[in-house]
Structure 1
Amino acid sequence: MFIDSHCHLNFEDFSTDLEPTITRARAEGIDTFLTICTKLEEAGDILAVAEKYPYVFASVGVHPHDSGPTLEKFGAEGIRETLMRFCEEKKIVALGETGLDYYYDNSDRESQKDCFRLHLQVALEKNLPLSIHTRDAEEDTIKILKEFPGVRGVIHCFTGTPWLAEEALNLGFYISVSGIVTFKKAESIQETIRKVPIHKLLLETDAPFLAPTPLRGKRNEPAFMKHTAEFVAHLKNMSLEELGKRTTENFYMLFNKAVRSGDPRNAV
């Protein structure tokens, strides 16, 4: 069995076929899902999805693209209060996705940094891991993470440099692999993933985005993660079964508020 550690099941892309989407994924061995928040306004909908299914967990957070407008609308204290409140929910097992994106700069960089730090503060107070988005902002991402000793989490959808992987691993962070690793021109990412210790590796889809080869261009969905898993197993020179076992253990080690599928404590 595998776990999709980062997807967006509340997005409009799945509004008409969420149930069949989940059914297809579980038929392909994707046993559990972490659906990720990008805006405070969607936190309630995400929580509702997680509460409907015992094998779906959720996060709460603000994507760096939305940090500026969210700070304007809610203020720093409003963001903090909302994060703190949702962290009390049983099915909320992480904060994020949060981080820095200097590629698009959809929000000004100071707003991104301020919002990122808010998430890190709450993560330490609530002892929850974070799903980190970083693009063209590696140095600032690591610099800010180092301001919060003891914070833990994952660099999601890893597309960075070997330096970023090494720095994140040195901080105890996990590295998550998406369908991008299967792309023909992703040789640098592939080489980095070969070197990531297996006990620090997670798998994800980032669905509905980034469908893996051979399904590029289609709406991504959790069932497609099998292609990424097969590719990564080959990269790591290990069996698909062993990869599933190890990455599943890693998920529950990091997202330790999540209760394993089949555990009676996970009854909805």
Structure 2
Amino acid sequence: MVRFIDTHNHVGLAELDESLEVMGRKASSVGVVAGVITTGCLEDFERAREVAHRLGWGYCVGLHPMYLHEQSDEDVQKLKKFVYEHMDDSHLVGIGEIGLDFYVSQPDKALQERIFKKELELAAETHLPVSVHSRRALYRVMAMMADYPQVRGALHAFVGSEQEALQCVRRGYFLGFGGSMTYEGSKRVRRALASLGSQALLLETDAPDMAPSFAENGRSTPVDLPRYLQEMSRIRGEDSEALGRVIYENSFLAFPRLRNVVELTKNFVATA
């Protein structure tokens, strides 16, 4: 069986259609061995840590650009404190979800960029990878990340062009693909996906967000990952099992601490 890692989701931080334990068992039954839970605000940090330990997954902590406010500079200090206090927690695998979102109505670009810069500095200091959000802002995300060449990680929910995808890969970043590629109308995403070498690819769900075309309830779940791989292999014209093996290893290259999590929890079954 192909093994899967959901490299970006919010499992346990948003309402689920079923219990965490049931979801965990279902995901495990289709080959999902781990996930990376990413946060949006300070209130998510401890919960993400708790859920990651319960499931035997990894987690990232960061301040999502859509949820910033006047006190966000203070929140960065609390983020930094949390990270340093939990650096010995192997389940902490990165900084995220961080980045820029210029799609929202009247975005405070100066605030977003100031906080993103501080979070990139934290990633550089701690040698942790990042899980990056970029909506209508990829050009600025790339420009800012260029100032931190030692920082690596994943560009979550990639929707850029073929040229932008190749530029990101040349910089050493992995690109996450999920529900959006399952839509026939997502031609730009599909062209970018087809143009890349497999060594740059990651699978993610953004669960419960970014629902795939086949979702009956408007939500995504880690259980969807095998169907995502099938769609990805169809778009690329590749054997799904071979592609799945490459993507599985890519997940560890993007989030190196995750390998130890998986090794420690190979036979993990979620329990209450």
State the TM-score, normalizing by the size of structure 2.
0.90
SS in 2 for 1:259: helix
Equivalents in 2 of 1:46, 1:149: separation in Å? 28
Superimposed CA distance per residue, residues 88-112 of structure 1 (whole angstroms, 9 cap, x where no aligned partner): 4221001011000000157511111
Check conservation: 1:84, 1:122, Cα contact below 8 A. no
Letter in structure 2 aligned against 1:58: Y
Equivalents in 1 of 2:62, 2:239: separation in Å? 35
Shift in CA distance, 264/24, structure 1 to aligned 2, threshold 3 Å: closer
Q: What is the Cα deviation at residue 86 of structure 1?
A: 3.7
Alignment of 1:243-254 (within 5 A): 243-254=243-254
Check conservation: 1:177, 1:202, Cα contact below 8 A. yes
Equivalents in 2 of 1:192, 1:94: separation in Å? 25
Alignment of 1:1-268 (within 5 A): 1-14=3-16, 17-54=19-56, 56-71=57-72, 74-105=74-105, 108-215=108-215, 217-259=217-259, 263-264=263-264
Check conservation: 1:71, 1:79, Cα contact below 8 A. no
Equivalents in 1 of 2:28, 2:266: separation in Å? 17
Equivalents in 2 of 1:4, 1:262: separation in Å? 12
Shift in CA distance, 266/154, structure 1 to aligned 2, threshold 3 Å: same
Shift in CA distance, 264/233, structure 1 to aligned 2, threshold 3 Å: same
What is the percentage of aligned positions where both structures have the same residue? 24
Equivalents in 2 of 1:158, 1:224: separation in Å? 18
Superimposed CA distance per residue, residues 172-219 of structure 1 (whole angstroms, 9 cap, x where no aligned partner): 000110110011210111010011110110000001012212226522
Equivalents in 1 of 2:265, 2:28: separation in Å? 20
Equivalents in 1 of 2:265, 2:21: separation in Å? 23
Equivalents in 2 of 1:177, 1:168: separation in Å? 14
Equivalents in 1 of 2:38, 2:63: separation in Å? 10
SS in 2 for 1:164: helix
SS in 2 for 1:144: helix
Shift in CA distance, 25/16, structure 1 to aligned 2, threshold 3 Å: closer
Equivalents in 1 of 2:197, 2:71: separation in Å? 36
Superimposed CA distance per residue, residues 64-99 of structure 1 (whole angstroms, 9 cap, x where no aligned partner): 112334516x25434433343344422100101100
Tell which deviates more after alignment, 32-41 or 254-263.
254-263
SS in 1 for 2:104: coil
Q: How many residues align?
A: 266
Equivalents in 2 of 1:119, 1:99: separation in Å? 9
Consecutive unaligned residues of structure 2, counting only runs of 5 or more, are none
Equivalents in 2 of 1:221, 1:264: separation in Å? 24
Shift in CA distance, 264/89, structure 1 to aligned 2, threshold 3 Å: closer
Check conservation: 1:259, 1:265, Cα contact below 8 A. no
Q: What is the Cα deviation at residue 144 of structure 1?
A: 0.3
SS in 2 for 1:94: strand
Check conservation: 2:158, 2:177, Cα contact below 8 A. yes
Tell which deviates more after alignment, 240-249 or 61-70.
61-70
Q: What is the Cα deviation at residue 166 of structure 1?
A: 2.2
